[in-house]
Structure 1
Amino acid sequence: MLLLGFILYHVNISTALAYDSIPGTLQGHCYLLLGWLLAVVYYSRYNQRMNLLDNISKVSSKIPSGLFSYLSKIIHAKDLIGFLFLNAQSPNILSSNPLLIANKFLILYTTIIVYFMDMLYMNCVLIIGACFEDVNEKLIKLKRNIDCDEPHMLRRIYHVKHNSIIVTDVQLIMKEHNKISDLVIELNNTFSLQLIITVTMTFAEITFSLYFYILEMVGAKEINLEKQLWYSYFITSVTYYAVKLTTMVWACERSKSKAMQTGVVVHQIMNDTIDREIVEELFSLQLLHRDNRFVAKGLAIDALLLTSIVGGITTYLLILIQFLVSANSCTTELTKMPNSTTAPLQRDR
């Protein structure tokens, strides 16, 4: 926090690190303030987050080793690739200006913190999705057992005994599904504010980066690239934020599809079995009352969010370009005004 205050002082008061334009100033302040607000939210919810991780570890302990191994490879691969990509930008911190070094170091540190916070959320979502997948596999196996063990007159006693075992399995699966659904609610409550800040930061960074890229293409430079952390600033920045948000949405969509598949399998069992006792034990009503979506204060993290962000970025880019064009036209008219006003005076003389 002291380093943040030090940088903001030299940006706004001493102007030693002042930005070259108003859009650049807005981008820099938006990124630093949102990044450190995200860090404050992260540390303030430490106990709540640790309780969530403890509950996830208890529920996910029943996941098969093969599924858990496949999931761990995905988690470690994406975390390592992202960390190496961010560390590859660290040589760009070096500069002859100590204030500029401090500014870039703060930006890189903030970026790494935000990245790992987002990846923690994504890891939790993937693990919860694996838990739903395990429930689906158990239901499919149960469906096969029910299909193979329909009652016959000659084995009625065997069916009664076997039926009680199936009912017990259904009750255990129902309890497990209920615990996983509780994890989804707890996850949404723990990371909701963090996700809103992340989506806002991603939207702002992509919008400003594309805006500065358009200005550079037309020859108008309103940002000093020496103050930016990224190599090949516009391409790497836009790619990083777009890929990160897309992978988070992919994880949420994948886990949500696994949760929706549970309802499909349950209703398939209800339609195929003729045993009334098993039908009564199936948790179809519980599925209706469980909305296993990943949301943040009403903001659903799904594919529709990506389309909304793309539309919003396009809209604000057009607005920024219109302001730029109008500002240039006003400047041109002001430069022409003295010539037009002095002409009538010369005629009078």
Structure 2
Amino acid sequence: MISVRQITSLICIFDASIMKIIYSRRFMLAINNLALQDQILKIMGYSLNYKLMFRISVLSIPCYLLVSNTLLNSEFLVVSSVDIPTAFRVFGNFSILVQMTNTILFVFLIINVGQRFKGLNFCILKLVNHEYTKLGMPISNKTPAEYMQMAAQVHARLCEIGKAINSVFYITLIVTTIGAFIFSTTMIFYIFTLAKYGFQNVGFSPVFLFFALLFIQIFTVLKIVLSCNWTSRQAAITSKILHSLSLSDMCVDDDSLSEMVRTFSMQILHHNFSFTAAGFFQIDSTLIQSFAGAVTTYLVILIQFDPKIA
């Protein structure tokens, strides 16, 4: 149990330090391109609420790390009788916290990409709803077709940024998901073992520890999957909006706009924007189903071959 946690955490520390240095140029280029898309979106009539995003980040990230650190160090309740140095009690789970911080950084960046997709969809919807003239003065000299071309360029850049960020975190995504699968299966098996003897006979501390560690692993996978799934969905919504626009009178009356919408739609199909763990598996809602199914399967096998539980 402990070895799996420590090994996955050490690999993620390697990814968070050495690999980030190796991919630093790609990483910084993606961040700079993301800032550039903000400027274009502002010209198109959409401005991100940076203050709100900052406040949410300042409140949520420290709270998450504090709760996670408290749950992680709850294992010292179980081994309180063992003479463990104070420094180890405080920093014993430091490597795991680094892993969690690395996954938080990935989730934060992916959600930011999704926010830009959402803003782009807002701008295109304005065009669909014939509110083009209300988008702002900076683009008043552009035709709807030219405006749609700007939107297509932003969408393409956002897809490239999302894939670039995804590639930088390949190792963390693979190790975190596999580690969470092994650890969750083990924890649930231990919980079944404790239930066999009765929770009241083993005490509160071991039960709390196993549930706390299980919660951390499951929540880590959930936050990765949900953020990737939401961002992918925002990118896919654009094609639905374009379909509505293609059926509107605006496209019927404007051949250049109709052609641009058709080109934009083909571009979205070509990009097929999604997140993967280096191509080994997709990171979307299906991963949660596969994860739960695999844990259940291996748990049934473990229970059947354990005479103490079966």
Aligned residues: 285
Counterpart residue number, 1:317: 299
Cα distance in 2 for partners of 1:247, 1:281 equals 36
Cα distance in 2 for partners of 1:88, 1:134 equals 37
Q: Aligned Cα RMSD in Å?
A: 3.2
The 3 A distance-change label for structure 1 pair 178 and 117 is: same
* Shift in Å, 1:172: 1.4
1:214 and 2:192 are equivalent in the alignment: yes
Counterpart residue number, 2:10: 36
Matched ranges for 1:2-151 at <5 A: 27-46=1-20, 47=24, 48-60=26-38, 62=41, 64-65=46-47, 67-89=49-71, 90=73, 93=76, 95=80, 97=82, 105=90, 107-145=92-130
Structure with the greater relative contact order (CA < 8 A, sep ≥ 6): 1 or 2? 2
1:292 and 2:273 are equivalent in the alignment: yes
8 A Cα contact 1:93 1:105, kept in partner: no
Cα distance in 1 for partners of 2:143, 2:180 equals 51
1:232 and 2:208 are equivalent in the alignment: yes
Deviations 1:179-221 (A, max 9, x none): 1011122122111221011101111221111111111111299
Cα distance in 1 for partners of 2:88, 2:183 equals 17
Secondary structure of 1:218's counterpart equals helix
Deviations 1:135-172 (A, max 9, x none): 11111112233899xxxxxxxxxxxxx89522221221
Match among 253, 257, 264 for residue 278 of structure 1: 257
* Shift in Å, 1:100: 6.6
Counterpart residue number, 1:244: 220
* Shift in Å, 1:78: 3.1
8 A Cα contact 1:203 1:313, kept in partner: yes
Counterpart residue number, 2:286: 304
Cα distance in 1 for partners of 2:91, 2:56 equals 29
The 3 A distance-change label for structure 1 pair 77 and 42 is: same
Cα distance in 1 for partners of 2:180, 2:283 equals 14
8 A Cα contact 1:132 1:180, kept in partner: yes
Counterpart residue number, 1:195: 173
Deviations 1:216-244 (A, max 9, x none): 111299xx99xx9x881122112222223
TM-score (norm 2): 0.80
Structure 2 counterpart of 1:278, one-letter code: L
Cα distance in 1 for partners of 2:60, 2:221 equals 13
Cα distance in 2 for partners of 1:52, 1:96 equals 50
* Shift in Å, 1:281: 2.1
Q: Max radius of gyration: which structure?
A: 1
Structure 2 counterpart of 1:79, one-letter code: I
Structure 2 counterpart of 1:296, one-letter code: A
Structure 2 counterpart of 1:195, one-letter code: L
Q: Which runs of 5+ in 2 are unaligned?
A: 134-139
TM-score (norm 1): 0.72
* Shift in Å, 1:107: 4.5
8 A Cα contact 2:27 2:164, kept in partner: no
The 3 A distance-change label for structure 1 pair 65 and 174 is: closer
